[in-house]
Structure 1
Amino acid sequence: MPNLRLLSLLSLAVSANLSAADQLTVISYGGASKAAQVTAFYRPFEASTGKKLIAGEWNGEMAKLKAMVLTNSVSWDVLDIEDNDLSRGCEEGLFEELDYDRLQIKEPLVAGAKSECGVAIFVWSNVLAYNADKLATAPTGWKDFWDLKKFPGKRSLRKSARGSLEFALMADGVPPSEVYQVLSTPAGVDRAFAKLDEIKPSIQWWEAGAQPPQYLIAGDVVMSSAYNGRIHAAKTSGANLKIVWNGNLYQFDTWAIPKGTPNLDSAYEFISFTMRPEQQKLYTEQMAYGPANTAAVGMLNKDLASELPTAPENMKNALQMDVAFWTDHGEALEERFIAWSSRR
């Protein structure tokens, strides 16, 4: 009997290990981007490997991730994370250092896509958007966003120092190429907040990516900063929303592997699968973000390709988010922004 009991326990342990190895937990930001990932990455990966994928969501709660890693209780295997948070987490030892030989990505990636702890999935932009049915005159950039006389009414910005400060400086005449040089000085930070003061009573803040198109369609605001993919999705649903690419702020979403995941091999397998040009093409067709794998661009419809952040015309006066700047200064600037935004 004892031997039978031991065999039974061993059988259960083996079964549990096999079960864990046959499933993978992937965490994304949810919404339309997650829906696109389900179509382009999750379901095809399950069909190709026979492994079960558990799809979770987060909103950038780095404290939760840190607690998992520090207590050796990691339950997330792959994480979709913005590049600025990735940089901070990598410095804190929250992610595995990626072995690119192990990923075996065979096609060239966009410049800047590879980092120590993450690889870019796609390129996205925070753009100026408006409802063409509501505005008789089209805005041309952030200077118009700040023009309350020519464009009266509410406007919307993401409730964060990131983006708001860059847009404020561009509205104040700073060229995109000089924004971070100016913002790196105390006088430049003061200048950005002073510019935000000019429209503060007219700002309706947004925190979730789905909100800007909702605000624009409802007529709650006349203009809004917004994720380009969200605006494209609303357009394909029939809304007459337009994007102003001048002064767009672009960055990467990346795949990262939380330190201590019990499913490291499967995590690598999943990331490698999603970086194939065929899967990248499928994602971009669902969500209009630029594919990180450049081989996917030639597979896309030309009209769609022209509406991506990576289109040459859209990159002409664009600004890439300076990850190093926000890693160094983000905490202090966000604290100041929170205090500023809470004052009437």
Structure 2
Amino acid sequence: MRKLLIMSTALCALALPASAQDKEITVMSFGGAYGASQMEAYHKPYMAMTGIKINSVDADNPATPLKAQVEAGNVTIDVADLEPSDLVRLCDEGALEVLPLDELPLSPDGKTWQEDFVEGGIYECGVGTIVYSTIIAYNGEKTKGVDEIEDFFDLEAFPGKRGLRKSAKLTMELALMADGVEPADLYDVLGTSEGIDRALAKLDSIKSEIVWWEAGAQPPQLLADGEVTMTTAYNGRIFNAMIEENQPFEILWDHQILDFNLYVIPKGAPHKDAAWEFIKFATDTQRLADQASFISYGPTRKSSMALVGLFKDGKTQMAPNLPTAPEHMEGSLVTSVEFWADHDIEISERFNAWLAAN
């Protein structure tokens, strides 16, 4: 399995434009508020600077069509946005290009990518763009007194439906942390049959009240429609609903689950060189900071944080709304890519069997 890269060597500067024959590239991502933030921070500036057209395509999970295209030998995607677990698996299978990371641009103060990217932000087949988190969200006008992750499982104090992502990943971690497992011990526990039983037993306590979601746009809608009292959600989706749609939502940051998104190039991408030039541009210090003006995801470069300013509304300070804000980090869990690469099949089978049971 592909491990996180060891930091080494120096960089070259960003080289633009791409080869003359590459007049367009196709970038596949997750859509929604997140996709819109990429459009504003990355796509539009890049198109204006290079004249290269970016075709933006949305998918619930770009890993699925990427794998299918590579296996069929008919690749139309040039750049895809992946979660780390999918990246590790597809890289290991040879479905992704190994990237020339030493060509990534330096930070403004001359730091190499090895020094500037946060832990978990670089792989040999991918370059990280954002740090996001799965949080618990609720309607602050209807629900009061939510203080800790255990409240999500307390149907007596907080009656009503609960929204959960329909997958073992994130859901099993949430259940164990709510059952008292410390983040530092979580994957040791979840890696055992007893730990899986413990997580499923905790989920059993609310199973009759669960509303399952699969796409990131669903949790804010479930809350807005009053279909759930609380839901897990991606923090950026909830922030967008709060600020842009004036929804009275609140975020419980306690035991948030941190994760990354990373850009990759599929093996056989029709415009590989142009795709790499775009990735270098999109993951420089300024562009990563710019994205935080459009959505509340933290940049993967340390040098970007000092450049994070106001939201696009011109009044909301973004730094306190990022998952990486110091006050939100206590008790947080960083998703273990290696754990899920090793245990996803086994745990998902147990989880799916539990789902199917009465």
Counterpart code for 1:321: T
- Corresponding residue of 1:12: none
Identity %: 43
5 Å-filtered alignment, 1:114-129, equals 114-129=122-137
Question: What is the aligned counterpart of 1:325 among 339, 342, 346?
Answer: 339
Which protein shows a greater Rg? 1
Q: Report the number of matched residues.
A: 326
TM-score for both structures, normalised by structure 2: 0.87
TM-score for both structures, normalised by structure 1: 0.91
- Corresponding residue of 1:214: 221
How far, CA to CA, are the matches of 1:112 and 1:63 in structure 2?
A: 22
Counterpart code for 2:320: S
5 Å-filtered alignment, 1:83-102, equals 83-102=84-103
Output the aligned Cα RMSD: 1.6
Deviates more, 1:238-247 or 1:107-116: 107-116
How far, CA to CA, are the matches of 2:24 and 2:207 in structure 1?
A: 48
Q: Does 1:308 align with 2:309?
A: no
- Corresponding residue of 2:176: 169
Q: Per the alignment, in what secondary structure is the counterpart of residue 213 of structure 2?
A: coil
Question: What is the aligned counterpart of 1:149 among 138, 152, 156?
Answer: 156
How far, CA to CA, are the matches of 1:161 and 1:20 in structure 2?
A: 44
Higher helix share: 1
- Corresponding residue of 2:273: 265
Q: Per the alignment, in what secondary structure is the counterpart of residue 285 of structure 1?
A: coil
Question: What is the aligned counterpart of 1:276 among 273, 279, 284?
Answer: 284
How far, CA to CA, are the matches of 2:233 and 2:270 in structure 1?
A: 37
Matched-pair contact (CA < 8 Å) for 1:103–1:268: no
Q: Does 1:249 align with 2:257?
A: yes
TM-superposed deviation, 1:22: 0.9
How far, CA to CA, are the matches of 1:98 and 1:141 in structure 2?
A: 41
Matched-pair contact (CA < 8 Å) for 1:132–1:138: no
Q: Deviations over 1:135-162 (max 9, x none)?
A: 1x22122211101111111111101100
Q: Deviations over 1:236-268 (max 9, x none)?
A: 021111111111001100001101213121111
How far, CA to CA, are the matches of 1:147 and 1:53 in structure 2?
A: 47
Q: Which runs of 5+ in 2 are unaligned?
A: 1-18, 311-316
Dislocated runs of 4+, deviation >6 Å:
none
- Corresponding residue of 1:49: 50
TM-superposed deviation, 1:19: 8.2
Matched-pair contact (CA < 8 Å) for 2:28–2:62: no
- Corresponding residue of 2:314: none
TM-superposed deviation, 1:61: 5.4
Matched-pair contact (CA < 8 Å) for 2:101–2:124: no
Q: Which runs of 5+ in 1 are unaligned?
A: 1-17
How far, CA to CA, are the matches of 1:99 and 1:68 in structure 2?
A: 23
Counterpart code for 1:228: N
Matched-pair contact (CA < 8 Å) for 2:309–2:318: yes
